[in-house]
Amino acid sequence: MVMLVFAIVNLTNFSVFTMPLVILELDLTGNERYPLMSRKIISPSTSVGQTSVAGTTGYDYTIGAQKTLPNRQQEDPLAAALYNHSLHPHARRPQVSISAYAFLFQEMVSLAVNTSKSVTEIENKLHRQGYALGPRLLELLNFRSSVTATSSRALFGKSATGPGGLGGPLEDSLASSITAMRRRDLRVLEILQFVHGPVWTYMFGRQGDDLVKSSERENEYMVVDNLPLLTQFIGHGNVQCDAFVCGIVEGILDGASFPCKVTAHAMPEDQHDRRVVYLIKFDHEVLQREALRF
Amino acid sequence: MSAGSANAAASSVNVSSSTKSLRVFGDEIWKNKTAKINAELFTLTYGSIVSQLSTDFQRNFTKVNEKLFAMGYNIGTRLIEDFLARTALPRCENMVKTSEVISKCAFKIFLNITPQVTNWANNKEAFSLLLDENPLSDFVELPMDAVKELWYSNILCGVLKGALEMVQLDCDVFFVNDVLRGDQSTEIRIKLNRVLKDEIPAGED
Amino acid sequence: MAIYSFWIFDRHCNCIFDREWTLKAKQSSGVVNSKQNEDTAKLLFGMIFSLKSICRKLGNEDVSNEIRTIATGKYRVHVLTTASGLWLVLLTDVQQKNVSEVLHHLYGEIYVPSVAENWLSPIDFAEKEEEKMGQGFRKIQNRYFLRAVEQYLSPMVSR
């Protein structure tokens, strides 16, 4: 039990907390799809019992709680910020200016343009770069929505005793104070609402403008955005730069075991001449599973 | 280091009145005139660019540094127009003023951070920016093979180089330290080479 | 208010945009980026350039002393110079004392988003060394910019 608990914490830490690190290493192995190990491991339960694990982590009641990840020496503040604070749902949500983002985004697009021979290749590149973010966002947003008010205090109170000593030696780790992870989304509609709601709000500061089911094909859904934030400065051209967002969405859905293909289509309408429809085509197996009663 | 900071403090005395208003000015533009976006999306997007470059250059991080710098330069030459349009600032009389504008206005308006200006050279033509926070590198830990060579946020140097060149300041801009590499601080050095002359039409003197 | 023409000069002393309106029958017709304006552009640039250097000589050389407007009997020249070396020049009737807001709008809301922030548009219009120092000929062609200038200035053109 004790070892299992540690395995959970470690893996979640690894897969969520050190995002770009994982990106860099992922690319070593080519850009294959990213197996979501942590998802499976988390799902049974993440509750950290009150089991005493003192002996294994160097907990000393005369000193109080210490940084506890095994094999980790005294953590520096940088690492603490990296592994704990940045994950917290109530932490300061920093912002940057949209123009800074727009400059970076356009430079990313031109990088793709300069290293590609065809429009499809450019879009694929952008799509792949977005895809790398998907599984990370899925974990991060789920994780944040699982943190309860009590556990926020545990982190920011920073008191040696903490609320009731819950979580014991893992006190400083946010993961330890989560009593239950948010239930994962099992139905197509649930995961789509997750994308349309929390994911869109996280990325663009507002919900998607519409969520539509295709009347013609069973496996097709559409998320509508009347004014895409990232590409609003880019003229309509041959290249669909929203492929980046498609990649993110596809990464999230694949990560949540809803394999699909996502494509973007410019469909101007009345007031909204930049309106973009993200078309989500689920794989056949998703529908088969959906048809099961459970 | 401490001598350098004292130096900077002394130098900022003579511009202190404008220093204060510059800070207010920058804050005001950030608060009221800037459309904003989630900084984490920015961080993650930049992360995916760096990782893409690492793959493209087969983990030759010297080349990655160069490419990031070149991308930044390209951005800087354009970003300066956005900056000037929003601030309507004239050219600075000296590097001390320039450093204040960079830290309190430019960094504030675009990235919502205010790096410390410090480590002035005696001739007041070179200084360092200390970045306590860096929105490009939140979440980042460098893998072992990159830790010695990669300047993860090198794009910033390129941006500064490009933008300064557009206001006729030919500078060297480079990273000295980065917490990602285990250093105590993240430090960008800016060194003025010369002030460029405005072009004049052919045939005039 | 009457606007006669609008010009942009870049850091290489080249005219990168010109738009001239003819005011017949209150129609906002006229020419954009025209060949026959090249000489006028050079003269206009030369006039502002010379005045700038005189101003600098007359005043304290260390303090910036920028030209804002030049008035003649019939018209007025309004200039916005940026720290990056761009000049935006607007010719209006002589009654218009201050159009700096118009110039700032042209710069901040039109030039910056459609040229500076648009990667499909060049930012430096002198592609080669010999196109610098007033020897260039390239103009802003991008249609977002052209349309935005038209939409913004046309209502002010006719008297």
Asked if residue B72 has pLDDT above 90, the reply is yes
Beta-carbon separation of B199 and C132 below 8 A: yes
Q: Looking at A156-170, B176-190, C128-142, which range is the least confident one?
A: A156-170
Instruction: Report the candidate in C37, C17, C138, C156 with the shortest Cα–Cα distance to residue C86.
Output: C17
E-state strands within B23-107: 36-38
Give me the helix-helix angle, B61-87 and B16-32, nearest 10°.
90
Provide the residue ranges of all domains of chain B, joining segments of one domain with +.
Answer: 37-195
Highest mean pLDDT among A61-65, A162-166, A231-235, B159-163: B159-163
User: Which pLDDT band holds residue B176 (cuts at 50, 70, 90)?
Assistant: very high
Instruction: Report the candidate in B77, B48, B27, B70 with the shortest Cα–Cα distance to residue B139.
Output: B48
**Contacts with A240 (C-beta within 8 Å, 6 or more apart), sequence order:** A123, A264, A265, A266
| Nearest chain C CA: its distance from B128 CA (Å) | 23
Token reading at A159: 């008191």
User: Using H for helix, E for strand and C for coil, what is the string for A170-181?
Assistant: HCCCHHHHCCCC
Token reading at C8: 């942009």
Residue of A nearest to C114 (CA): A233
**Optimal mutation site among B27, B38, B179, interface A, most CBs of chain A within 10 A:** B38
Identity of residue B160: L
User: Which pLDDT band holds residue C119 (cuts at 50, 70, 90)?
Assistant: confident
The three-point CA angle A259-A260-A262 to 5° equals: 145
Token reading at B187: 């430090």
Rounded-to-integer distance, Cα A133 and Cα A248, Å: 6
Rounded-to-integer distance, Cα A85 and Cα A18, Å: 13
Task: Report yes or no: B39 and B138 within 8 Å, Cβ to Cβ.
Answer: yes
User: Which pLDDT band holds residue B76 (cuts at 50, 70, 90)?
Assistant: very high
Output the pLDDT for position C149: 86
Q: Look at B126 and C96; give whichever has higher pLDDT.
A: B126
Task: Summarize chain C as % helix, strand, coil (round to 5).
Answer: 40, 25, 40
Closest CB to B37: pick one of A98, A125, A130.
A98
ipTM of the complex: 0.85
Asked if residue A83 has pLDDT above 70, the reply is no
pTM of the model: 0.77
Identity of residue B52: Q
Mean pLDDT of A163-167: 38
Please state the length of chain B: 205
Domains of chain C as residue ranges with CATH: 3-156 (3.30.450.70)
Output the pLDDT for position A248: 92
**Optimal mutation site among B34, B170, B195, B199, interface C, most CBs of chain C within 10 A:** B199
User: Which pLDDT band holds residue C24 (cuts at 50, 70, 90)?
Assistant: low
User: Using H for helix, E for strand and C for coil, what is the string for C61-113?
Assistant: CCCCCCCCEEECCCEEEEEEECCCCCEEEEEEECCCCCCHHHHHHHHHHHHHH
Asked if residue C112 has pLDDT above 50, the reply is yes
Beta-carbon separation of A235 and C117 below 8 A: no
Output the pLDDT for position B155: 93
Burial class of residue A68 (count of CB atoms within 10 Å of its CB; 0-12, 13-18, 19+): buried
Output the pLDDT for position B158: 93
pLDDT tens figures, A27-42 = 333 333 444 443 333 4
Mean pLDDT of C8-31: 74
> How large a percentage of chain B has pLDDT more than 90?
31
> How large a percentage of chain A has pLDDT more than 90?
5
Q: Look at C41 and A53; give whichever has higher pLDDT.
A: C41
Beta-carbon separation of B47 and A129 below 8 A: no
Token reading at A28: 């070593």
Asked if residue B146 has pLDDT above 70, the reply is yes
Asked if residue B174 has pLDDT above 90, the reply is yes
| Mean predicted lDDT score pLDDT of chain B | 84
CATH class of B37-195: alpha beta
Instruction: Compute chain C's Rg from CA coordinates.
Output: 15
Rounded-to-integer distance, Cα B119 and Cα A152, Å: 39
Instruction: Report the candidate in C22, C14, C21 with the shortest Cα–Cα distance to residue C38.
Output: C14
Task: Report yes or no: C115 and C123 within 8 Å, Cβ to Cβ.
Answer: yes
Token reading at A225: 């955005």
Chain B residues with beta carbon closer than 8 angstroms to that of A19: 44, 47, 139-140
pLDDT tens figures, B104-138 = 889 989 988 889 998 898 888 899 999 988 888 87
Alpha carbon distances (Å) from A4 to A8, A42, A183, B196: 6, 11, 20, 64
Beta-carbon separation of A235 and C120 below 8 A: yes
Output the pLDDT for position A36: 41
User: Using H for helix, E for strand and C for coil, what is the string for A111-138?
Assistant: HHHHCCCCHHHHHHHHHHHHHHHHHHHH
Beta-carbon separation of C13 and B199 below 8 A: yes
Q: Look at A10 and B65; give whichever has higher pLDDT.
A: B65
Instruction: Report the candidate in B106, B78, B87, B104 with the shortest Cα–Cα distance to residue B165.
Output: B78
pLDDT tens figures, A174-225 = 666 667 777 778 788 888 998 888 888 888 888 888 888 888 888 899 898 8
Highest mean pLDDT among A126-130, A150-154, C25-29: A126-130
Output the pLDDT for position B165: 92
Q: Is A105 helix (H, G, I), strand (E, B) or coil?
A: helix
Domains of chain A as residue ranges with CATH: 2-55 (no CATH), 83-292 (3.30.1380.20)
